[in-house]
Chains A and B, each alone.
Chain A
Amino acid sequence: MTVNGKKPKFAMYWAASCGGCEIAVLNIHEKILDVDANFDVVFWPVAMDAKYKDVEAMEDGSILLTLFNGGIRNDENEHLAKLLRRKTKILVAFGSCACEGCIPGLANLGNVGEIVHTAFNTITTDNPHEIYPRISFDVPEGELHIPKLAPMLRPLDQVVDVDYYMPGCPPESHQIAAVVDLVIKVVKGEAELPPKGSVIGVGDSTVCDECPRARNVKTIKSFKRIQDIAPVDPDLCLLEQGIPCNGPATRSGCNARCPNVGAQCIGCYGPAEGVIDYGARLITAFASVVDAKEPEEIEQILDGIPDPTGQVYRFNLAGSLLKANREAWKVK
């Protein structure tokens, strides 16, 4: 349980993320007490007060386990990613954002200017004087700085070396509990760590394999949004009903949570084992079920997917082969 008479150190950090990953960790219920019993929590901004300079003062490699969630969107995220990499033995890209960009990664479809404009000058924002944030600002007490946005969002492994990946938006609590158990066993010398670079806390197949819905011969004549189908057949494969379900390309591990309750898989567990580009696999899957041979008819069926890029790269854009829309990398 202890290393040199001391509990090993644990850290968790959020970069460009929503905070759902932190909630998922707390959702492991009483298992969180095991974390506290076995680890010395040294840095976890959402749960305790700690300053960046405290982390900077730590010895390199002194933190045993860091769960890093969120993508790298600004220079503060980048600084912390590099800092925690130096201080940590086992750095885990925790959650879809750190693994592959997730929803914040969809901002890679536009450029930084558009992001700032959307946030500060659209109909939902009362900003008559068009006041925009500045990177630095002089106040009587000195100069204030806010983090600078990067041209695009990058998953953690495009910035630093990552030891393990734990996908999911957020990772399922039972999977987190299993990983916590494993790490505690490793600390006690009862288990071995998986090989570096492994994806942990997941299944080794696709969501379809965990999905209880019946699959027949998949052929469809139209794609529809789920709200336009009434009622949705509770036992039949959603893709066969014409609902673009991302299950065929998505890694298992969630027990097919969404299809189980009648909603299509949106792909938060990322690419299945062996898939290089998530979107490409999904293009293949969707194209296979379209029951048409004439280009005009195929196009008509494909019109049923209003946003093909967003559909096939919902969680994976920043981690895909192309990474971003051409707009995003026109750096000003």
Chain B
Amino acid sequence: MTEKFEPTIIGFTCNWCSYRAADLAGTARMKYAPNVRLVRLMCSGRLDPTFVLRALSNGADGVMITGCHPGECHYLEQNYKALRRFLLLRRVLKGMGIEPERVKLVWASAAEGARFANETTTFVEEIRNLGPLNWGRFIKQEAEINESLHEEVPA
């Protein structure tokens, strides 16, 4: 491959902290890797592991989940819930042959624009080193297999 691999990363951010951290990074014109597509949630506790699985199965190379620092959740304790889901999800992904490092959890408060930018850049480099996941291409291949299934059967 001559072209440099550009990872596609889906980021789930909490409305009260990390989304604002991203906002701050933007208004402060900090430079960071442009590979992350952010999806704003009301809280990291809203993160259903289905979101992560759907992102990975549809072509994302990595998923970044961000939330408020422990003890600072707008909804009291939901970020701990996110932490526990994240840790269990990583174990399940490992069993599916996906490197657990492809999913990352970052705590960033609304004031930590620089931290958000740095963590994003680091994560993009980590995923770049892991290489493409290509689960999306697999699904597409499978769709092609399914396509061939519509051939006439002898009858």
Contact = CB atoms under 8 A, between A and B. Distances in A.
Given A279-B92, A280-B50, A326-B97, A295 B87 contact: yes
Instruction: Determine chain A's interface SS by DSSP, over half rule.
Output: helix
B54 to A, nearest CB: 6
Interface in B107-155: 135, 138-139, 141-142, 146, 149, 153-155
**Among the interface residues B70, B96, B138, B154, which one has the most CB atoms of the partner chain A within 10 A?**
B96
Interface in B64-98: 70, 80-81, 83-85, 87-89, 91-92, 94-98
A157 to B, nearest CB: 10
Contacts of B52: 280
B88 A283 contact: yes
Contacts of B83: 293, 295, 298
Contact of B92 (A160, A290, A308): A308
A143 interface: no
Interface in A64-98: 78-79, 82-83, 86-87
B99 to A, nearest CB: 10
Interface in A264-296: 276-277, 279-281, 283-284, 286-288, 290, 292-293, 295
A158 B87 contact: no
B21 interface: no
A293 B87 contact: no
- Chain B contact residues (Cβ within 8 angstroms of A): what range? 20 to 34
Interface residues of A, number: 45
Nearest to A286: B88
Nearest to A307: B95
Contacts of B63: none
Contacts of B48: 280, 284
Contacts of B91: 302, 305, 308-309
Given A287-B88, A327-B97, A322 B153 contact: no
A284 B149 contact: no
**Among the interface residues A79, A277, A313, which one has the most CB atoms of the partner chain B within 10 A?**
A277
Contacts of B57: 321-323
Contact of B84 (A160, A290, A312): A290
A283 B81 CA distance: 11
A320 B155 contact: no
A69 B48 CA distance: 31
Contacts of B33: none
A233 interface: no
Contacts of A288: 81, 84
Nearest to A299: B87
A262 interface: no
A13 to B, nearest CB: 14
A56 B146 contact: no
A276 B87 CA distance: 20
Given A287-B84, A302-B88, A322 B135 contact: yes
14 contacts: A82-B153, A83-B155, A86-B155, A277-B49, A277-B53, A279-B53, A280-B53, A292-B84, A293-B83, A298-B83, A299-B87, A322-B53, A322-B56, A325-B96
Given A160-B149, A279-B53, A308-B88, 18 more contacts: A78-B149, A276-B50, A276-B54, A277-B54, A280-B52, A280-B89, A283-B49, A283-B85, A288-B81, A292-B84, A293-B80, A295-B83, A307-B95, A321-B54, A322-B56, A323-B139, A324-B96, A329-B138
